[in-house]
Amino acid sequence: MTEPLLSIEGLKTHFFGYDGLVRAVDGVDLEVNPGEVLGLVGESGCGKTVTALSVMRLVDAPGRIVGGTIRFDRRDLLSLSASEMAQVRGAEIAMIFQQPKVSLNPVMRVGRQIAEQFIRRRGMDEAAAWKEAIGLLAAVGIPAPEAKARAYPHELSGGQAQRVMIAIALSLKPKLLIADEPTTALDVTVQAQVLALLRERCKALGTSLILVTHDLGVVAQVADRVAVMYAGQVVEQAPVERLFEAPEHPYTRGLLGSIPVLGALKPRLVEIPGNVPTLDGVSVGCRFAARCGERLRVGSRCETEAPPVIARGPGLQVRCWLADPAAADKERALA
């Protein structure tokens, strides 16, 4: 078994706002192996993006990482100095964002924004860096790369802008790329192209990918392994086929059940009842219990005791009492 490239343990990132404390990420455990594509899925507000930003140490105030460890390539990222962390960003861990058009600097030529990496991080001269930038633009499928390198971001389409972001992110051949909803802002036809490009470029460079998304279709297409997040925690981790064939957590089953099937004779879209709980209160029991259709009984362990992470096989982990045979049997006897 190879050592994981990234391992997050008990990560807690809280926001200390005027309205009080929000536990956006509250005990996340995750691992990413070298060369692997991990899909990080969940509803809006479940803490996916904050988890991703925590790895980059780019959580803005009033947010702060208050606990846990993030180990990357045998280093503890949380103990690095600010300038050491800046060295890691871009060169070893890169990130691309949901809104590609506003993530590019509007007053800087596109080619310059790529070339900058080679100039500032690798000490290349202008001409060589510019040449590299044009090569990268070609590699991410931008037509007429010499001309487009001289363009400004507002002259690009959304899809082109995200291709440029990918070129920037992979310019220094990082070991890990975090893509936060990279296709959400794009047209459906462009989404598939950008996803294919992302997977292809990462495989070519041997770069691991964390794909943050709310779209299980995207995950099925690209990911090797999936982590499902709910209310600031990972509730299930599994290889992608296993997750789609036999989801263990009731929340995962709910998510999969709510994917609309084209042509299916369903009277209406299926949803998980209720809303994601606000993350400001202190929770007792399982965070999903109130919305869970399978919870053991009213007043049961599900509502009084937080479930631990239960290993169900290689690479398969679930945070649910139902996954613990002993607990489940005991509860059924009581019911």
Residues of this chain that bind another protein (CB under 8 A): 56, 58, 60, 82-83, 86-91, 94-95, 97, 99, 102-108, 116-117, 120-121, 152, 154, 165, 168-169, 172
Q: How many residues would you count in the chain?
A: 335
Is beta strand 176-180 parallel, antiparallel or unpaired with respect to 316-318?
Answer: unpaired
How wide is the angle at C-alpha 290 spanned by C-alphas 287 and 295, nearest 5°? 90
**Closer residue to another protein in complex, CB, 117/233:** 117
**Closer residue to another protein in complex, CB, 118/251:** 118
**Closer residue to another protein in complex, CB, 106/314:** 106
**Closer residue to another protein in complex, CB, 59/134:** 59
**Closer residue to another protein in complex, CB, 121/214:** 121
Query: In angstroms, what is the minimal distance from the CB of 58 to another protein?
Result: 6
Query: In angstroms, what is the minimal distance from the CB of 174 to another protein?
Result: 9
Query: In angstroms, what is the minimal distance from the CB of 111 to another protein?
Result: 13
**Closer residue to another protein in complex, CB, 89/291:** 89
Contact residues for 237 (Cβ-Cβ < 8 A; gap 6+): 30, 225, 226, 227, 228, 315, 316, 317
Query: In angstroms, what is the minimal distance from the CB of 4 to another protein?
Result: 22
Both tokens assigned to 226: 């999936």
| Edge-to-edge strand ranges of the sheet holding 63-72 | 20-32, 6-17, 63-72, 75-76
Query: In angstroms, what is the minimal distance from the CB of 44 to another protein?
Result: 18
**Closer residue to another protein in complex, CB, 60/271:** 60
Query: In angstroms, what is the minimal distance from the CB of 104 to another protein?
Result: 6
Query: In angstroms, what is the minimal distance from the CB of 68 to another protein?
Result: 21
Query: In angstroms, what is the minimal distance from the CB of 13 to another protein?
Result: 16
**Closer residue to another protein in complex, CB, 152/244:** 152
Q: What is the 3-state secondary structure (H, E, C) of 263-286?
A: CCCCCCCCCCCCCCCCCCCCCCCC
